[in-house]
Amino acid sequence: MYNLQQFFNCRLLRNGKLINDNLWVRNGIIVDPERLFFDEKVKADKSIDCHNAIISPGYIEIQINGGFGIDFSYNVDNVEDGITKVAKQLLAHGVTSFCPTLVTSSPETYHKILPKIKKSPGGAHGATVLGVHVEGPFISPTKKGAHQEIYIKQLNKGFQSIVDVYGSLENVCYLTLAPELENSSEIIKALCDRNIKVSLGHSVANLNQGENAVKNGASLITHLFNAMLPFHHRDPGLVGLLTSDQIPPSKKVYFGIIADGVHTHPAALRIAHRTHPEGLILVTDAISALGLQEGLHQLGQLEIEIKSNQAYIANTNTLCGSIAPMTECVKFFKEATGCSIVNALEAATLHPARALEIHSQKGTLNFGADADFLLLNDNLDLVSTWIAGECVYTK
> What is the C-alpha to C-alpha distance for residues 218 and 197, in angstroms, rounded to an integer?
7
| C-beta separation of 199 from 174 below 8 A | yes
Sign of CA dihedral 70, 74, 78, 80: positive
- Confirm or deny that 319 is annotated as ligand binding: yes
- Confirm or deny that 232 is annotated as ligand binding: no
Q: Are strands 382-387 and 59-64 parallel, antiparallel or unpaired?
A: unpaired
**What is the enclosing helix (H) or strand (E) of 382?**
strand 382-387
| C-beta separation of 330 from 336 below 8 A | no
Q: What is the DSSP letter of 322?
A: B
* Phi, psi values for residue 258, rounded to 5°: -95, 110
- Confirm or deny that 357 is annotated as ligand binding: no
- Confirm or deny that 292 is annotated as ligand binding: no
| Cα–Cα separations (whole angstroms), residue 122 to 54, 137, 245, 354 | 22, 29, 40, 19
> What is the C-alpha to C-alpha distance for residues 349 and 177, in angstroms, rounded to an integer?
24
For this structure, is 285 an active site residue? yes
Instruction: Break the chain down into helix, strand, coil percent, rounded to 5.
Output: 30, 30, 45
HSE on the CB side for 116, CA within 13 Å? 18
- Confirm or deny that 353 is annotated as ligand binding: no
- Confirm or deny that 321 is annotated as ligand binding: yes
**255, 256, 257, 260 alpha-carbon torsion, rounded to 10°:** 170
> What is the C-alpha to C-alpha distance for residues 94 and 250, in angstroms, rounded to an integer?
32
Instruction: Tell me which long-range contacts 359-362 makes (C-beta under 8 A, separation of at least 24).
Output: 362/57, 362/58, 362/60, 362/96, 362/97, 362/128
- Confirm or deny that 202 is annotated as ligand binding: yes
Active-site choice (260, 285, 370, 372): 285
**Binding-site annotation: residue ranges:** 135, 146, 202, 223, 226-227, 234, 263, 319-321
Q: Which residues are catalytic?
A: 285
**Binding-site annotation: residue ranges for Zn(2+):** 135, 202, 223
**Binding-site annotation: residue ranges for substrate:** 146, 226-227, 234, 263, 319-321
